[in-house]
Amino acid sequence: MADDDMDDAPKSKKKGKKPFVLTLKSEEAAEVLGLEDGKGPKKLIEYLQAQLENDNLKVTLNASQTGKIIMIMMGPGKGGFKAALKKAFKRPLLARLSSQ
């Protein structure tokens, strides 16, 4: 998946598919907001951080963005970006998927 998948408007909406709306806890959001430039895909980080600004705890993702986050979380390695995504998205993704 290319970084171009991180456009501002969730593409799922354009295709008639419902986007994933995940509600993070404040400590989960802090993991994403604490990411620095150079640690992971820049457009993904910027997209997630922009949604979490001003104490907002909801993140809207299209299928491609959700897949990219899951691929990073499950991929090899133990880097800071991967660890932050796991801390931020493991609980809300599992809750969202189990509610389907």
Q: Which two tokens stand for residue 81?
A: 């970006």
Question: Which region among 8-12, 22-26, 72-76, 85-89 has the lowest average model confidence (pLDDT)?
Answer: 8-12
CA distance 67 to 22: 14
- For the stretch 25-38, pLDDT in tens is 999 999 999 988 76
Q: What local confidence, expressed as pLDDT, does residue 92 receive?
A: 95
Give the helix ranges, DSSP H, for 1-79. Answer: 11-14, 26-33, 42-51, 63-74
- For the stretch 46-83, pLDDT in tens is 999 999 999 999 999 999 999 999 999 998 888 888 89
Total domains, the chain: 1
- What pLDDT band is residue 96 in, cutting at 50, 70 and 90? confident
Give residue 89's domain range: 3-98
CA angle 48, 41, 5 (to 5 degrees): 70
